[in-house]
């Protein structure tokens, strides 16, 4: 019997907003798909594109980057810089033939537990439709 495909999504959430938002979603007992594996980063500006590429290599089917709303960054400008970076990275991924929808970005504040759950639901469904990431998954040959 063929198993149903469950996407594997890595979430880089910013310590000050999105991570707290996820926490709020948890404490408010809001249900959302368990496909998101969260990695806490201090700021969305910390997310180096190599993190994204490496996650995709190691078997993630999608990557979600969460930061504070523009203007709310704890470090004042980290999320603006991340926004520019990801805009370029998504265009580049599209040009090489990797679906840019595998890399998602969102602004979630610490008070938006509901929005966080909605975003995770949407991203999971989108990536479920895209199917498993096969383009350049790392293979261990030993």
Partner 1 sequence: MVDEKELRDLVKKTVKRDDVKYVVGYEKGTYGFQVTPCFAYKPEDADKFVFSPLCVHNLVVFPMLEEKPPLRKGEQPDSRKVGVVVKGCDSRAIIQIIQEKGLDRDKVVIIGIPCTGVIDPKKIKAKFPGQVKNVEIKDDNDKFAITINGKTHNIAKDELMPDKCLTCEYPTPVLYDILIGKEIKSNKKEDYKKVTSFEKKSLKEKWQYWEKQFEKCIRCYACRNSCPLCYCKECMVDQLDPQWVRRTVDVSENTAWNIMRAFHLAGRCIGCGQCERVCPMDLPLMELNKKIEKDIKELFEYTPGINAEEKPLLAMFKPDDPEDFIL
Complex with partner 1: residue 85 or 128, whichever CB lies closer: 85
Burial 98-107 (b: 16+ CB within 10 A, else e): bbeebbbbbb
Shortest Å distance, C-beta 81 to partner 1: 6
Interaction of residue 129 with partner 1, rule CB under 8 A: no
> What sign results for the dihedral spanned by CA atoms 87, 14, 21, 38?
positive
128 binds partner 1 (CB under 8 A): no
Residue closer to partner 1 by CB (options 24, 65) is 65
Is residue 98 near partner 1 by the rule CB under 8 A? Answer: yes
Within 72-91, the residues that bind partner 1 by CB under 8 A are 77, 80-81, 83-91
The answer to whether 30 contacts partner 1 (rule: CB under 8 A) is: no
Select from 115, 34, 106 the least CA-distant residue to 68. Answer: 106
18, 35, 106, 124: residue in contact with partner 1 (rule CB under 8 A): 106
Kindly state the tokens that stand for 48. Answer: 């180096």
Q: Using the 8-state DSSP alphabet, how is residue 42 labeled?
A: S
Residue 11: which of 32, 31, 41 has the closest Cα? 41
Decide whether 3 or 46 has the Cβ nearer to partner 1: 46
């Amino acid at each position: 019997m063929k198993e149903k495909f469950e996407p594997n999504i890595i979430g880089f959430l910013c310590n000050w907003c999105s991570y707290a938002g996820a926490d709020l979603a948890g404490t408010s007992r809001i249900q959302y798909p368990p496909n998101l594996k969260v990695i806490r980063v201090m700021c969305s500006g910390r997310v180096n594109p190599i993190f994204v590429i490496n996650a995709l290599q190691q078997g993630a089917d999608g990557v979600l980057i969460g930061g504070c709303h523009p203007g709310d960054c704890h470090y004042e400008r980290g999320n603006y810089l991340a926004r520019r970076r990801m805009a370029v990275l998504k265009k580049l991924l599209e040009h090489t033939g990797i679906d840019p929808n595998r890399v998602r970005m969102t602004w979630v504040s610490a008070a938006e537990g509901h929005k966080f759950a909605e975003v995770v639901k949407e991203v999971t469904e989108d990536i479920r439709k895209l199917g498993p990431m096969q383009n350049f998954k790392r293979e261990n040959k030993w």
